[in-house]
Chain A
Amino acid sequence: MATRTRSEHPPVRRGDRIFSATALGAGILILLILAGVAIFLLVQGVPGITAGRGSLSGRDSFWAYVGPFAFGTVYASIIALVVAVPIAVGIALFISHYAPRRVALALGYIVDLLAAVPSVVFGVWGITVLSPALVPIMQWLEDNAGFLPFFEGPTLTSGRNMFTAGLVLAVMILPIITAICREVFLQTPRLHEEAALALGATRWEMIRMTVFPYGRSGIVSASMLGLGRALGETLAVALVLSGSAIYTFNTLAAENSGTIAANIALQFPEASGTAVNVLIATGLILFVITFAVNYTARKIVDRRSEFSGAN
């Protein structure tokens, strides 16, 4: 009978056991860290949500206080995404399907290098180089596209406005989106590409028929990772933008909506008492926004999984 018991529980090798324990441990650790952060934000943040006027820079309620910053955060990130995604997809496509091997390799390294630049460097670069350089462009936009609420102006002469902040963020999230898109595009099955070419597709038609549909979920995931980075980016925005607690779509004027992360970084050193809780509560809101973004992305990716090519 002993043999039977043994056959019901097949022997587990030591290497397997160590590996599965390590993997399980890592998985649990991630959950614990996440839970720890969430609990911290809740415990420290809830008093902030119910705080009175004194700790809210003169606002009536916490929601009135956090609203403009939440708006500014999302707005800046969307600007960054709108600018960065088409460029990133273009670069990735060039690297994966157009460039000669050597050029592709070099370009890939340069893009990866961009990811290694610290965000404070981007912030300083945004102040000293990018914003003055952008002023003529902003002026042009104000003159020629001023009927759009985004370019109403008047253009801030220093150029340190939402427009510049969005572009700095775009440059910052470009590498991650490019790198992921490139990997996804390279994985398009050769068989599908050849099927398209054999039907008489040009290279661009082949890309539209096979590479983009196959890489669709990858592009969405890459964009969301980029968006996540843009939402949480603190230093570059804090340096470039002097945000205030207002709602505005105008990207060119002196008055701009601040972002949650930059606001925390700027206010925290001088905050005390409930004001600290208020700032932590805004962090909680940022956490919720980021979570919602990732969740939506997951939903988008899953929706057509039947057609994804993974099966």
Chain B
Amino acid sequence: MAKSIDVSDLNIYYGDFLAVEGVTIPIAAKSVTAFIGPSGCGKSSFLRSLNRMHEVIPGARVEGKIIIDGNDLYGAGTDPVAVRREIGMVFQRPNPFPTMSIYENVIAGMRLNAKRMKKSEADDAVEKSLRSANLWAEVEDRLRRPGSSLSGGQQQRLCIARAIAVEPQVLLMDEPCSALDPISTSAIEDLIHDLQHDYTIVIVTHNMQQAARVSETTAFFNLSAVGEPGRLVEYGSTTKIFSNPDNESTEAYISGRFG
């Protein structure tokens, strides 16, 4: 079910402001791709353009092409709602629906797709998703408790369970660990490791050790000055980017000499 993504010459605008310029990158199926770079370089904007979530912000628009498995993401006939059902997203801060129980949170997305679901089917799907998210053992005896009763790390894994319950093609993660402690972070990283066998994963992170630990491919974004658009500086296998990058600014960023 995992699919590859081909991005060519992508520009992202907020109103008249060009936020990201000229991104061309292939993203391989069933692998983890990490986006790194300083704040404001447009990596989150770019990530959000991959499932058309940036359109939620008024005035945001995109030029260029994103092809997922042969389909143009921004084609005239493409429905953003359908796109988001195929491409799941996990956010920076855990955001389980506060008015729903753990159980309801997991099947929230499935309820949107299939209105009628047998109780047993729903139970199975909840268990499967929570197991995939390594959360089942911790919550199996309190599925009816509110999602907000969990710890931050558990909430984030609940959000991942919710995202994978609808069996998306691609999973986008926008700094999923930045609000978590090291133990929860490690739990999520293990999870990402397991999930890449089934999903194409794209992760934005500020933590370079994390990028090095979880990803196969790394893309470095940068901006030449504040107010200038962000650009993709280079991408390549994570080992190469972290040991022998082509670009000087990548080298500087990774070794912590700036940014």
**Residues of chain A having any CB pair with chain B under 8 Å:** 189, 191-202, 205, 209-210, 213-214, 216, 304, 306-309, 311
Contact = CB atoms under 8 A, between A and B. Distances in A.
Contact of A202 (B81, B109, B149): B81
A52 B35 CA distance: 85
B99 A214 contact: yes
Contact of B88 (A196, A199, A205): A199
A194 B53 CA distance: 8
B84 interface: yes
A306 B102 CA distance: 13
A213 B101 CA distance: 12
B81 A192 contact: no
B113 interface: yes
A213 B100 contact: yes
B112 A199 contact: yes
Nearest to A101: B58
A307 B84 contact: no
B166 A309 contact: no
Interface in B162-176: 162-163, 166
B98 A194 contact: no
Contacts of B89: 198
Contacts of A213: 97-100
Interface in B96-142: 96-101, 108-109, 112-113
A210 B96 CA distance: 10
A191 B91 CA distance: 8
B95 interface: yes
B162 A199 contact: yes
Give the interface residue-count category, chain B. 20 to 34
B183 to A, nearest CB: 23
Q: In the complex, which of the residues A209, A214, A216 has the most CB atoms of chain B within 10 Å of its own CB atom?
A: A209
A194 to B, nearest CB: 6
Contacts of B146: 306-307, 311
B176 to A, nearest CB: 13
A307 B96 CA distance: 11
A128 B108 CA distance: 51
A142 to B, nearest CB: 39
B3 interface: no
B88 to A, nearest CB: 7
Contacts of A205: 112
Given A191-B91, A194-B91, A205-B112, A199 B85 contact: yes
Contacts of B159: 195
B95 A192 contact: yes
Contact of B98 (A199, A200, A214): A214
Contact of B166 (A200, A209, A307): A200
Contacts of A304: 99
Nearest to B83: A200
A209 B95 contact: no
Given A195-B96, A213-B100, A214-B99, 15 more contacts: A189-B95, A192-B98, A194-B91, A195-B97, A196-B108, A198-B51, A199-B84, A200-B82, A200-B86, A200-B109, A200-B112, A200-B166, A210-B97, A306-B146, A307-B101
B148 A311 contact: yes
Nearest to B145: A306
A210 B93 CA distance: 16
Interface in B148-167: 148-149, 159, 162-163, 166
A311 B97 CA distance: 11
B100 A199 contact: no
B61 to A, nearest CB: 17
